[in-house]
Amino acid sequence: MAEKTMIVIGGGLAGLATGCYARMNGWRVRIFERHSTPGGVCTAWKRGPYTVDGCIHWLMGVKPEGSMFRIYRELGLAEEDRFAILTRYVHMLDEPSGATVDFTWDLERLAEDLHRVSPGDRRPIGEFLEAVRVARGFPLEMLKPRDLLGPLESAATLWRMRNALQRMLRFRMPVAEYVLRFRSPVLRRMFEALFLPEMPASFLFLALGQLADGQLGLFRGGSQRFSELVAARFRSLGGELRLRAPVRTILVERDRAVGVRLEDDSEHRADEVVSAADGRSTLFDMLGGRYVPGALRERYERWPIFRPIVMASFGVADAFDGMPHARHLRLARPIPHAGSRTDSLHVRVVNYDPALAPAGHSVVQVLLESDWDWWEKLRGQGAAYEEEKRRLAEELLDRLAPHLPGLRDRLQMTDVATPYTFWRYTRNHRGAFEGWLPTPEAVRTGLPRRLPGLDGFRMVGQWVEPGGGIPPALAGGRHLVQRLCREEGRPFVATVP
């Protein structure tokens, strides 16, 4: 039988993973990526001896016994001892009250911190910790999509998940609503700042349960290395990765996607076309909006996407030994920024990986939510854009100084990425770095991966997985090829390098 062919648009992690699994199952695959490096938003860039790591703060499913780990292994990510287990998710500090909470895997210590901040919240704190304990055993089933599970597999999975599932279903409400059961405004704000106020509260328990279970980790070598390894796996399987190859149009003949036209006007044909690129440009530009049903169009109009961020990174000749690797600061005095004010800074001290900062040095990185329109407008004003980046960096250094003594004196590098930078790098709509916000509605409803009336076309990646994240991007590629194999009546094969 002649080898079937596949074109994948976008060489981010979802596109690369799809390519790997399609190669394992005999498709001839070409990935067209518009950028000069693979990996999409999972990237990093060098600044002198420092690496500005643009992505991985924590990864789910890093325990070797888990189903996600098998996917890491299949994609060439686990050949060496690459995953470092996290014992703390974040250290929270509320400047106005001086309250601190260490969100650690030690639930006894976490309980002490929470009770110290709010002795009057004994009951909801107990309920919260109990939910985290139950979620600790929640098996993340990543290997197969739900629609491919047979009745027996479904029943077995539901049985394994039954305790955690019951509780998760009870806490489907957004975090912003869940936190109202705490009397302390400080605790309320801390829980909202842990992840996102819009996401289902059950996600809090799931993520902290994973932490307590030793399943959250970091990747030694950082985000760029992570992407390079998956790209290397794709190439070693015989896949073709074309960089600097932006796709302009998806070619359609008689309601079947038959290939792509690149910006350079070259045309390329394949049996299957998969888009792993920004959802909006796929549907409305590359396909001209022709196959978008009303319900999907409405989601694109109404559903919120991740608020864009500014990421400021400072290279410092100080390891800041003993400092938590991740902190959340609620500032006593908000920072004027992007036409508004923000009092919430997420701070990383990257001093744990020689690939990212040399020994005795660190990269201090600050993430803050921002505004797309404001930065895009400023971008058109030349020098004003650079001046604002400088001003913001100075302001952030001032605000961090009390928490990281010596920061300014030993500062060697400053790098500021704006929402515009994220857009320029990946073309993700309005600089949204992780796709759709995982609101309860988005998580419940999901997004179609195929379009009615259009054969030979599928979507994968963070624009069809509300909440985004690396595990869904990688597992989504596996699921796509599993579905294709099922439709073609052949067994799905996954190999380990």
Ligand X SMILES: Cc1cc2nc3c(=O)[nH]c(=O)nc-3n(C[C@H](O)[C@H](O)[C@H](O)COP(=O)(O)OP(=O)(O)OC[C@H]3O[C@@H](n4cnc5c(N)ncnc54)[C@H](O)[C@@H]3O)c2cc1C
Which positions touch ligand X (CB under 6 A)?
A: 9-15, 32-35, 40-42, 54-59, 246-247, 276-278, 281, 311, 426-428, 433-434, 461-462, 468-471, 473
- For the chain, how big is the Rg over CA atoms in Å? 23
What minimum distance in Å lies between the beta carbon of 279 and ligand X? 9
Q: To which residue do tokens 């030994």 refer?
A: 321
Rounded Cα distance between 135 and 167, Å, is 8
Do 271 and 33 meet the contact criterion of CB atoms below 8 Å apart?
Answer: no
Q: With respect to ligand X, which residue has the nearer C-beta, 273 or 311? A: 311
- Shortest distance (Å) from residue 218 CB to ligand X: 9
Alpha-helical segments (H) within 213-243: 222-236
CB of 181 to ligand X, least distance (A): 28
Q: How far apart are CA 171 and CA 224, in angstroms?
A: 36
Note whether 200 and 440 are within 8 A (CB).
yes
Residues 6+ apart with CB under 8 A from 427: 34, 277, 278, 281
At its nearest, how many Å lie between ligand X and the CB of residue 210? Answer: 11
| For ligand X, the closer CB: 263 or 488 | 263
Closer by beta carbon to ligand X, 186 or else 366: 366
Nearer to ligand X, 117 or 287 (CB): 287
70 and 259 Cβ atoms separated by less than 8 Å = no
State which residue, 191 or 433, has the beta carbon closest to ligand X: 433
How far, in Å, CA of 365 to CA of 416, rounded? 10
Q: How far is the CB of 208 from ligand X (least distance, A)?
A: 15
Q: How far apart are CA 246 and CA 257, in angstroms?
A: 17
Token pair of 131 as six digits: 């939910």
Q: What is the DSSP string of 301-349?
A: HHS-BPPPEEEEEEEES---TTS-SEEEEEEEEEEEETTEEEEEEEEEE
SS3 category, 489: coil
- Output 239 or 468, the one with its CB closest to ligand X: 468
Contact 70, 474 (CB under 8 A): no
Instruction: Quote the least distance from Cβ 383 to ligand X, whole Å.
Output: 26
Q: Are 87 and 62 in contact (CB under 8 A)?
A: no
- Minimum separation from the CB atom of position 331 to ligand X (A): 20
Nearer to ligand X, 362 or 426 (CB): 426
In the complex, least distance from residue 35 CB atom to ligand X, rounded to whole angstroms = 4
In terms of CB distance, is 58 or 320 closer to ligand X?
A: 58
Q: Are 79 and 497 in contact (CB under 8 A)?
A: yes
Closest separation in Å from C-beta 34 to ligand X:
4
56 or 404: whose CB is closer to ligand X?
56
Residue with structure tokens 């992780």? 434
Query: What's the closest the beta carbon of residue 366 comes to ligand X, in angstroms?
Result: 12
Q: 209: closest CA among 136, 271, 262, 140? A: 136
Nearer to ligand X, 58 or 191 (CB): 58
Please report, for residues 58, 75, 216, 244, the alpha-carbon distance to residue 71 in angstroms, rounded to integers and kept in the order given: 16, 6, 15, 28
